[in-house]
Structure 1
Amino acid sequence: MKAWSLVALSDLLTPDNEPVAVRQDQQYPNFGIYSFGRGLFAKPPIDGMQTSASTLYRVRAGNFIYSRLFAFEGSYGLVDEVFDGHFISNEYPGFAVDRSRLEPGFLKWYFQCPNVWQAIAMGSKGVGSRRIRVQPDKVLAHQMPLPPLAEQQTIVARLDALADKTRQVEAHLDAVERDAEHLLALQFRDAISNVRFCPLTQVASIIRRPVAIDVSLKYREVGARSFGKGLFVKPDFDGAEATWQKPVWVKQGDLVLSNIKAWEGAVAVANHQHDGCIASHRYITCEPDPGQATSGFLAYYLLSADGLEKIGLASPGTADRNRTLSLGNLSKIEVPVPALSVQKKFNELQAEVSKLKARHAAIRAANAALLPATLERVFAPAP
């Protein structure tokens, strides 16, 4: 940030809440404000018959608005044309912007900086962060850097262009990954066309390798994410801290399932990072017969729509935590078993898709950091 003058928001914003008496025979279009400076989102209309409020407040496009309760985590935004004429409660103070001095887009970008929310929220009353309410006087007392209007507009144009570029990058990566997943699905469809199905236990043994916990040692524990998102390693812990019963060892190449969450995709393959870790008694480890099946091929099938349906049927119960996949039911699930060479060829494609996603993850991380880093440079205090 250059040596721009600091101007109190009270000199740039004017409270602009238009009260409207609530009628029971009316519905009032409503919206909310995302945290972390992410803008506004539509909510169901407020029903005049059901609301306890006697007064709502109409907002206008171009107004600056925020949530008293969630201002501390960036619940600020500008009202655009989509929400012009919508209604909010008194928990959402709104302000008209003096456009002769302040470009609304400049204010919008400024309020995407976390240090701004924190500075304004500091000293606000509340018990615990989720109870802090930031009052309008705190917002209006804040001093923001204010370059000339033309410079503001130039900065806004550049930041808007950068944001658009980052969205384009994300959209491109998403499209490439969709194509890769579609290719996988097509190859898998061809691989299992007209092949035999057999119970899982005929091609993969359910192996439980009991762990005798040594209180003098440290252990690494793994868990399985739902929706096919793989295994994750938990922080190391001392054996003396183990409170759960009958843990099992995990080996590279294992097909690992959570017996309480397999029905929602907690199915994964252990790789070299997970070798030598332990899992709680809630996990089932399967070791495919290397002459008949691969864990990657079996996992892909079990995570497919057909596979998850079979796991769901094999996991009786009504409540989430009571839907347990028993060893007996798992062993009866029928899986496709094409030639081993076909499975390995599919695994090779899986590996290429995984490498692609890993590269994309690095690009996504850099892309996500670009805009915050730019905002920090633009609005950093002058030396």
Structure 2
Amino acid sequence: MSTAEWLPDLPADWDVARLSYLCRIGTGELDTIDADPEGSVPFYIRSPHVQRATSATGAGEAVLTPGDGAVGEVFHHHRVGDFAAHQRVYVLDRFDRTKLLPRFFYWYFSSRFRMVTSGGTAKSTVESLRRPMFTSFPVALPPLVQQRRIADYLDRETATIDALIEKQRRLVDGLKCRRRALLDEVWRRAQEVGAQQRLKWHLRPSSETAPPGEEVLSVYRDHGVVPKSSRTDNFNRTPENVERYLWVRAGDVVVNKMKAWQGSIAVSHHQGLVSPDYEVLRPTSQAFDLRFLHYLLRCPRMIAEYRTHSVGIRPAQWRLYWDRLGLIEVPVPTIGDQREIADHLDRETAKIDALIAKAERFIELAQERRAALITAAVTGQIEIPT
């Protein structure tokens, strides 16, 4: 068979076969509503997080990946026993073990299938997978003894790298807790010197639509308002027609009404446009230093208020609307006091952010090292120790 351009030259004793000749290619049968925390079987959905279900849709060793959403990013290896899979998750099982060991295939597939979902360039990703992408996928086939050796090697090496990554992630989590504790100071210090006033006295909703050519923005709990293109973890598709999108000026407050209760609200430093599902609030007074307002709106005390004022049957459906957000009272110190508080937080959060950035850079490099190691091993580019 002709191999894909992204598949490098393989060792002489390796073979290549299409995936359709090596295993069964199917999908799950359950939907998200079938998840049950008390279920007896693992339930693989379109996420790295495995849930539970009461009824099984498969059994035995299988490799699973979502058919849409985080395509090319999430892969699961179910090793033994019953399991359940979402109806939009592809299930690869019943392997021809005379040619392919499932554990080797998991490492190969999770490394190389990304080249299919990105068209071989890693610059863009398809929105959903189709069966022909699997059936024609070329699988490198070392001798079985070597497949087992490669799989054992990658199990050991990636476990070491993963442990280092997890240590840095715990460090990041601890630093973020320290940052949130610092933000608690905003409310405490502001309350000592400022009078309580309602947000609606100083902000008003803006329905101004964006002029052509503006950049799409998103608001994050951890990052505030940033260009959507700067993040790789936002899978919401921007429509071609953005005429109804709202214009954001630097200094506006942007609220993700669906996730405000998690802290997705911030003062924007950028000009651009946001989804009409967001709320854009424009200052109507000179009562706030914008840096202070940004810290104030994102402090833990305020996030608790957003939860109280959000409406909906359950958290996944909660919304925070302006008619309730505007009623929240906040302490408003003098501009001089606000600037003093903001200056203090600028200095202290900068120190923490620098440590977070250093840890996240370590994680990024470790993940790159991990990916490169897997690719080299499953394509025969490195010697595997015996």
TM-score w.r.t. the length of structure 2 is 0.60
Please tell me whether the aligned partners of residues 249 and 268 of structure 2 are also in contact (alpha carbons under 8 angstroms). Answer: yes
Q: Letter of the aligned partner of 2:171 in structure 1?
A: V
Q: CA deviation at 1:283?
A: 0.3
Please tell me whether the aligned partners of residues 310 and 333 of structure 1 are also in contact (alpha carbons under 8 angstroms). Answer: no
Q: CA deviation at 1:284?
A: 0.5
Q: Which of 294, 298, 310 is the aligned partner of 2:293?
A: 298
Please list, as runs of the form range in 1=range in 2, the aligned pairs for 1:60-99 lying within 5 A after superposition. Answer: 63-64=61-62, 78-80=77-79, 83-84=80-81, 94-95=93-94, 98=97
Residue 178 of structure 2 corresponds to residue 183 of structure 1? yes
SS in structure 2 at match of 1:232: strand
Q: Which residue of 1 aligns with 2:331?
A: 335
CA distance, structure 1, for counterparts of residue 332 and residue 129 of structure 2 = 51
Residue 158 of structure 2 corresponds to residue 163 of structure 1? yes
> Alpha carbons of 1:114 and 1:155: their partners in 2 closer, same or farther (altered >3 Å)?
closer
Q: CA deviation at 1:298?
A: 3.5
| Greater Rg by CA | 1
> Alpha carbons of 1:107 and 1:255: their partners in 2 closer, same or farther (altered >3 Å)?
same
CA distance, structure 1, for counterparts of residue 249 and residue 140 of structure 2 = 55
Please tell me whether the aligned partners of residues 200 and 330 of structure 1 are also in contact (alpha carbons under 8 angstroms). Answer: no
Please tell me whether the aligned partners of residues 221 and 263 of structure 2 are also in contact (alpha carbons under 8 angstroms). Answer: yes
CA distance, structure 1, for counterparts of residue 16 and residue 225 of structure 2 = 51
Q: CA deviation at 1:6?
A: 1.0
Q: Letter of the aligned partner of 1:269 in structure 2?
A: V
Q: Letter of the aligned partner of 1:198 in structure 2?
A: A
Q: CA deviation at 1:250?
A: 1.8
Residue 352 of structure 2 corresponds to residue 357 of structure 1? no
Identity %: 12
Residue 134 of structure 2 corresponds to residue 132 of structure 1? no
Greater displacement, 352-361 / 340-349: 352-361
Q: CA deviation at 1:357?
A: 3.3
Residue 1 of structure 2 corresponds to residue 2 of structure 1? no
Q: CA deviation at 1:152?
A: 3.8
SS in structure 1 at match of 2:107: helix
Q: Which residue of 2 aligns with 1:368?
A: 367
CA distance, structure 1, for counterparts of residue 209 and residue 177 of structure 2 = 44
Structure with bigger RCO (C-alpha 8 Å, 6+ apart): 2
Please tell me whether the aligned partners of residues 228 and 303 of structure 1 are also in contact (alpha carbons under 8 angstroms). Answer: no
Please tell me whether the aligned partners of residues 210 and 249 of structure 1 are also in contact (alpha carbons under 8 angstroms). Answer: no
> Alpha carbons of 1:265 and 1:2: their partners in 2 closer, same or farther (altered >3 Å)?
same
Q: For 1:13-46, what per-residue CA distance to the aligned partner results, in whole angstroms no more than 9, with x for missing partners?
A: 799xxxxxxxxxxx9954445679x7x9453121
Please tell me whether the aligned partners of residues 259 and 283 of structure 1 are also in contact (alpha carbons under 8 angstroms). Answer: no
CA distance, structure 1, for counterparts of residue 208 and residue 18 of structure 2 = 63
Q: Which residue of 2 aligns with 1:258?
A: 255
Query: 5+ unaligned residues in a row in structure 2: which ranges?
Result: 1-9, 25-37, 118-126, 230-240, 382-386
Q: CA deviation at 1:159?
A: 2.0
Residue 312 of structure 2 corresponds to residue 286 of structure 1? no
CA distance, structure 1, for counterparts of residue 282 and residue 182 of structure 2 = 27
For these two proteins, the number of residue pairs brought into alignment is 324
Q: For 1:204-243, what per-residue CA distance to the aligned partner results, in whole angstroms no more than 9, with x for missing partners?
A: 94378997977xxx542453425354113368xxxxx873
Query: 5+ unaligned residues in a row in structure 1: which ranges?
Result: 16-26, 48-55, 120-127, 236-240
SS in structure 2 at match of 1:2: coil
CA RMSD of aligned residues (A): 5.2
Please tell me whether the aligned partners of residues 255 and 287 of structure 1 are also in contact (alpha carbons under 8 angstroms). Answer: no
Please list, as runs of the form range in 1=range in 2, the aligned pairs for 1:91-130 lying within 5 A after superposition. Answer: 94-95=93-94, 98=97, 105-115=103-113
Q: CA deviation at 1:177?
A: 1.9
CA distance, structure 2, for counterparts of residue 29 and residue 315 of structure 1 = 34
CA distance, structure 1, for counterparts of residue 96 and residue 326 of structure 2 = 63
SS in structure 2 at match of 1:161: helix
CA distance, structure 2, for counterparts of residue 6 and residue 175 of structure 1 = 42
SS in structure 1 at match of 2:192: coil
Q: For 1:87-141, what per-residue CA distance to the aligned partner results, in whole angstroms no more than 9, with x for missing partners?
A: 889x956436748x8665323312223349959xxxxxxxx96563899xx59x9
> Alpha carbons of 1:288 and 1:372: their partners in 2 closer, same or farther (altered >3 Å)?
farther
Q: For 1:151-195, what per-residue CA distance to the aligned partner results, in whole angstroms no more than 9, with x for missing partners?
A: 444433432233223322332222222222232344444561672
Residue 231 of structure 2 corresponds to residue 231 of structure 1? no
CA distance, structure 1, for counterparts of residue 263 and residue 41 of structure 2 = 36
> Alpha carbons of 1:324 and 1:171: their partners in 2 closer, same or farther (altered >3 Å)?
same
